[in-house]
Chains A and B, each alone.
Chain A
Amino acid sequence: MKGFKPSAPFLLLLPAMIVLAAVVVVPLLLSLYSSFTPFRLTRPETFFVFIGFRNYLSILSNGDFWWAFGRTVLLLTIALNLEMLLGLGLAMLVEKATRGQRILRTLMMFPMMFSPILVGFQFKFMFNDNIGLVNNALQSLGVTQDAIPWLIDGHLAFIAISIAEIWSSTAIFAILILAGLLAMPKEPIEAARVDGCTPWQTFRYVTWPFVMPFAYIAMTIRSLDVARAYDIVKIMTDGGPAGRTELLWTLVARTAYSDGRMGMANAMAYFSILLSIAFTVYFFNKLAAARTQIGAEW
């Protein structure tokens, strides 16, 4: 370390590093340690008992955990894919509009302003079997006479949660893809049309490659925040009925705060962290690849 002089970017990044180390990295190391102990909130002395991988082993043989894990991955897969498709569709609808595009854009961003907890509450209200908007509408239209138990039946509850999640996050995709569509030069499309491409071919080979990096930006932003589904599920069903909509995150919260089994919960939390990191790294790589491709074509 002779003659070590901190460089400017190092100094500039230092505050960020310090804060993140203090609030994220060190606590995570602590929780990593405690995932190797049988730590319970009610019995502090258990914090210093080391039990190796026993928490992890008991998680791996825990059926509820695997159900929650599978359900989380399923929800994310369904939600992200549909959000992407719907966002693309919405962006193309709005881009086509000749008048009032500004208003449409603002309306389109509407769900982004809702906090996830509000989204959860609002859909809980709408899907209420007795007084909810959805059932009222179905009954008034004469589709059904029964009160459909949206949030009480396990499968229906999962669908309801997916709808809430998709409603709240499609806007991010739509707005970023729209930005891509608007930034796109018009000549290539016209050239493709002159050359006799069908609309589908124009879309597939001209528009889509151009818009793709924007879609990946949206994916990356979303993947930074996938766990916001916790808020929605927490308020809509709280993991119920009978754990049928339990996600990884609600399971962690329940194990930690209701059962007080911190060590076990920390071990589970590490699975959810790894899941999030996997999503983010995957999309970051996609983003980098899409970026270089665009760079080469420009």
Chain B
Amino acid sequence: MDENSSARLKRRLLGVVYRIGLFLAMLTICLPGLWIVISSLRPTVEIMAKPPVWIPQEISFDAYVAMFSGIGKGGIPVIEYFRNSLIISVTSTVIAVAIGMAGGYAFARYRFRGKSSVFLGLMLTRTVPGIALSLPLFFLYVRLGIIDTHFGLILAYVALNVPFTIWLIDGFFRQVPKDLAEAAQIDGCTRWQAFWQVEFPLAGPGIASAAIFAFLTCWNEFALASQLTRSVSAKTLPVGLLDYTAEFTIDWRGMCALAVVMIIPALTLTYIVQKHLVGGLTSGAVKG
């Protein structure tokens, strides 16, 4: 009897410890983001207050209003940055996914000599740090006159994304059984038709998530964008964030608001694709 109750107590205690641990872990993960959201909604006086004001006394959307009411009022041209980010990210994603589909299909469906070294070679081009790559690109782009243009950045981002989209899409095509396409071909489809009618729809959700992953990479990229863009005509949001910092002062509230604007599309998109993303990363790799 005694043993029973002490075992039960121990178990309940472990349960409580586990709950507390989980809660603390989740708190650590979420707190920084929440803090940004809260800070973007409170007046600057409260952010700067000493002793600190923990619970917001008043909520205001001033920072957002100021941000979207154009240059002069909000300080930085957010709308232009947003537009640049969107154009560059979407275009380069579409191109990178088209190229990635061709490459991924080749890796998933064909055997050829040096397959694994070609794969490793592709991945190695991705490891080149953005800042190291920006040096020669900067020089070349100045010579070619495509510095500070959408085209220049799109080109760079396509190259940045191709290796990883190939990896992901390769994984998704592997999940589609070979027999299906073969059956379609026996029934009279050409290989081309079999691909579009059978394999593509089945791998579709996976390809969509690869696309979103590529989009996020472009959306968040900073090292290349900060060197290859100069003005409002091509600057993206991550680079625009720096506009809020002067030499010794920082407009914390404005920065927080811009951060929220940047994070919302990313948050939504990631939420949509999370399941496929993990599946794609692991399936291609484990089943070899």
Contact = CB atoms under 8 A, between A and B. Distances in A.
A262 interface: yes
Interface string B158-181: 110011101000000000000000
A104 B22 CA distance: 9
A12 interface: yes
Contact of B131 (A9, A23, A171, A253): A253
A115 B242 CA distance: 14
A172 to B, nearest CB: 9
Given A27-B140, A176-B281, A291-B286, A230 B36 contact: no
B39 interface: yes
A36 B219 CA distance: 35
B143 to A, nearest CB: 10
Contacts of B110: 7-9, 12
Nearest to B28: A167
A31 interface: yes
A121 B241 CA distance: 9
Contacts of B281: 176, 179, 217, 221
A111 B30 CA distance: 8
User: Chain A CB within 10 Å — which of B48, B155, B256, B285 has the most?
Assistant: B285
Interface string A178-208: 0110010000000000000000000000000
A55 interface: no
B267 interface: yes
Contacts of A262: 135, 139
Interface string B64-105: 000000000000000000000000000000000011101101
Interface in B107-132: 107, 110, 112, 118, 120, 122-132
A265 B135 contact: yes
A227 B129 contact: yes
Given A115-B262, A262-B135, A277-B127, A23 B270 contact: no
Nearest to A227: B129
B33 to A, nearest CB: 6
B227 interface: yes
Contact of A179 (B105, B158, B227, B282): B282
Contacts of A281: 120, 124
B246 interface: no
B51 A139 contact: yes
B204 interface: no
A140 B242 contact: no
Interface residues of B, number: 89
Contacts of B219: 115
A22 B159 contact: yes
A116 B262 CA distance: 12
Contact of B106 (A9, A226, A276): A9
Interface string A150-191: 000000000000000001000100011001100100000000
Interface string B247-288: 000001001100100110011001100100011011001101
B274 A31 contact: no
Contacts of A223: 127
Contacts of A57: none
Given A112-B270, A113-B263, A118-B262, A8 B106 contact: yes
Interface of A: 7-10, 12-13, 15-16, 19-20, 22-25, 27-28, 30-31, 34, 89-90, 93-94, 96-97, 104-118, 121-123, 125-126, 130-131, 133, 136, 139-140, 167, 171, 175-176, 179-180, 183, 213-214, 217, 221, 223-228, 230-231, 234-235, 249, 252-253, 256-257, 262, 265-266, 269-270, 272-273, 276-277, 279-281, 284, 287, 291, 294-295
6 contacts: A24-B133, A31-B135, A125-B39, A280-B124, A287-B285, A291-B286
Q: Which 4 A-B pairs have the closest CB atoms?
A: A115-B220, A227-B129, A23-B159, A27-B136
Given A24-B133, A176-B281, 17 more contacts: A8-B110, A13-B102, A13-B106, A16-B162, A25-B125, A27-B136, A28-B133, A108-B26, A109-B270, A111-B29, A114-B263, A115-B221, A116-B220, A118-B238, A176-B278, A217-B282, A276-B129
Interface of B: 18, 21-22, 25-26, 28-33, 35-36, 39, 47-48, 50-52, 54, 98-100, 102-103, 105-107, 110, 112, 118, 120, 122-140, 155-156, 158-159, 162-164, 166, 216, 219-223, 226-227, 238, 241-242, 245, 252, 255-256, 259, 262-263, 266-267, 270-271, 274, 278-279, 281-282, 285-286, 288
